[in-house]
Amino acid sequence: MTTLKRVQQWATFARIWHVFDASWQNPFDSAQLLKKYLLGLYKPIYHPMNDCGDHVIVINCSDVALPGEEWKKRVYFHHTGYPGGASWTLAHELHKKDPVLILKKAVYNSMDGNLQRRYTMERLHLFPDANVPAKLMGNVSNQIRQIRPIPKRLDHYTQKEIEEYPKLIDYPKDYILR
């Protein structure tokens, strides 16, 4: 085995570490994206029996965005197993309890329920903010591109940018500005 082949072999089977910024991202769309990396679906050597999944670090999990009114419409069901043990938790209640859980459940539910799922989930590292231990961050060699662009708030533009932006309408002559 030549040196090149040896390094190629090592690079093929090494676990790569990816980082993903979840701020303003839909957790359910993100789950479909992260699943691809966690299972190693994008690799040419992929096979269900081949343990070739990567590690993914997700930062800013508390800043995920849900579409429309889903924060108060989406319900998470749990049953303790005892009679009357059913409980329904709204998405915003769950998010307040643990800002990581919505993304965690989204990724967990996006994958098939087999014996590998729990081990695959161990390769997903979720953080509510951008404070990641340096030990983990040192492994990262790839950043996963975000799905949705992060919108910019009006008060984060400078006054000059707002004034000099092309205007579609002007006020009538007799209009009193408020």
Site residues, another protein (CB under 8 A) = 23-24, 26, 63-72, 90-92, 95, 148-149, 151-155, 157, 161-178
| Closer CB to another protein, 83 or 151, in the complex | 151
Find the shortest distance in angstroms from Cβ 139 to another protein: 28
Token code pair at residue 112: 């098939």
Find the shortest distance in angstroms from Cβ 128 to another protein: 13
Find the shortest distance in angstroms from Cβ 24 to another protein: 6
| Closer CB to another protein, 31 or 64, in the complex | 64
CA distance 27 to 91: 12
| Closer CB to another protein, 1 or 154, in the complex | 154
Q: Could you tell me whether strands 75-79 and 86-90 are parallel, antiparallel, or unpaired per DSSP bridges?
A: antiparallel
Q: In one letter, which amino acid is 34?
A: L
Find the shortest distance in angstroms from Cβ 146 to another protein: 13
Find the shortest distance in angstroms from Cβ 126 to another protein: 17
Q: In one letter, which amino acid is 99?
A: P
| Closer CB to another protein, 134 or 155, in the complex | 155
| Closer CB to another protein, 49 or 170, in the complex | 170
CA distance 143 to 169: 41
Q: Could you tell me whether strands 86-90 and 124-126 are parallel, antiparallel, or unpaired per DSSP bridges?
A: unpaired
CA distance 175 to 178: 9
Provide the β-strand partners of residue 79. Answer: 86
Nearest residue to 31 (alpha-carbon basis) of 91, 100, 99, 111: 111
